Amino acid sequence: MSDTFLTPEEVGELTGILCGRGGKTREQLQIEWLRTSGLPFWTNARGRPVIARSAIDGRSRSEDAPRPKWQPKVLALR
């Protein structure tokens, strides 16, 4: 994997869910936990939760490079 997303082991460590139980898979239980915790994630084609590392370490893409405020061209000519 890449540094962009958490590894399956890291997802297990984050959620505290390392194996399935109660007729549900590990991934199903992890997804339930992530939803109740309010952490943003995607589900890939294999049904596994995919979490961006930036969702955990608190950084966002917008913090990397501040965007200039929009203003009409008429005001920019002054």
In a domain, 78, yes or no: no
pTM: 0.71
Average pLDDT over residues 28-51: 95
**What's the CA gap between 9 and 14, in Å, rounded?**
9
In a domain, 5, yes or no: yes
Three-state DSSP at 49 gives: strand
**What's the CA gap between 77 and 73, in Å, rounded?**
6
**Higher per-residue confidence, 13 vs 59:** 13
Predicted local confidence at residue 72, as pLDDT: 81
Q: Report how many domains make up the chain.
A: 1
In a domain, 33, yes or no: yes
pLDDT for 73 beyond 60: yes
In a domain, 77, yes or no: no
